[in-house]
Structure 1
């Protein structure tokens, strides 16, 4: 087996903060502020107060942090703006996929040494194709729905 075959990517998920969804949401919020200003003529401090939620979105749009998750024949790795991890598959005991009460998904990697590593939310891939890729890689997957622990 060649080096490229050995490290061929089984599953890859790449996500960028600069998305059309974010741009549309910011544009709609700003349009709402302009409409509020034109139609109701409120005090400027009210417009500024309601404009504050735009700032984090504009910062993300300008900075554009990326997140990446890769699964290949040898390892599971992820990286984002604040953290990175690279775990060999033989060190993984199982992977737990949780559906939370707010319908979001959380993925926790359990190692054979008893360590738990949570995959950051911005690195989370769509859960169904990821679960299939994990099974294809020979990893044990536990799925839990709406559990409190």
Structure 2
């Protein structure tokens, strides 16, 4: 099979596949701890109901993810990279990718941006972002250049 330089390689790289579901034990435990804290605030401290309701608003996205359990993932094959999260999907042929840019944020999350040969940039959705070590290893097998930037703000 031809590689990125047009030469034939001896063995094709196996497809890289990553899947994630919205429902997780860590999310359930975090929500339970937050809601128990709000209950203690309401019962023990007798906080105002509007304050407890206001502090309960951040739990709504997590409760939604527990109930809906949205799936997300990424596939990297010999000819394209594709991803999905919820109802959105995207795919780009590998020959259109100039490089992958990996930005580590201050909260230690990593944003993956595809820089295309046209100069256009596509940011992968965070739920579809796989562990970076596996992604970079799969990119190395396919000779996709990648660059790592630590603690960029934007």
Q: Do they fold alike, i.e. is TM over 0.5? A: yes
Equivalent runs, 1:58-73 vs 2, <5 Å: 58-73=63-78
Residues in 2 aligned to 1:141 and 1:46: alpha-carbon distance in whole angstroms: 47
Provide the TM-score with structure 2 as the length reference.
0.82
**Partners of 1:10 and 1:137 within 8 A in 2:** no
Q: Look up the SS of the partner of 2:44 in the other structure.
A: helix
Instruction: Give the aligned partner of residue 124 of structure 1.
Output: 129
Provide the TM-score with structure 1 as the length reference.
0.84
Structure 1: where are the runs of 5+ without partners?
A: 2-6
Higher helix share: 1
Offset of residue 130 of structure 1 = 0.9
Instruction: Give the aligned partner of residue 145 of structure 1.
Output: 150
Equivalent runs, 1:19-38 vs 2, <5 Å: 19-38=24-43
Aligned: 1:87 with 2:92: yes
Instruction: Give the aligned partner of residue 9 of structure 2.
Output: none
Residues in 2 aligned to 1:49 and 1:110: alpha-carbon distance in whole angstroms: 40
Identify which of 49, 54, 57 aligns with 1:52: 57
Structure 2: where are the runs of 5+ without partners?
A: 2-11
Instruction: Give the aligned partner of residue 5 of structure 2.
Output: none
Aligned residues: 144
Instruction: Give the aligned partner of residue 14 of structure 1.
Output: 19
Change (3 A) 1:142 1:44: closer
Offset of residue 140 of structure 1 = 1.2
Deviates more, 1:72-81 or 1:34-43: 34-43
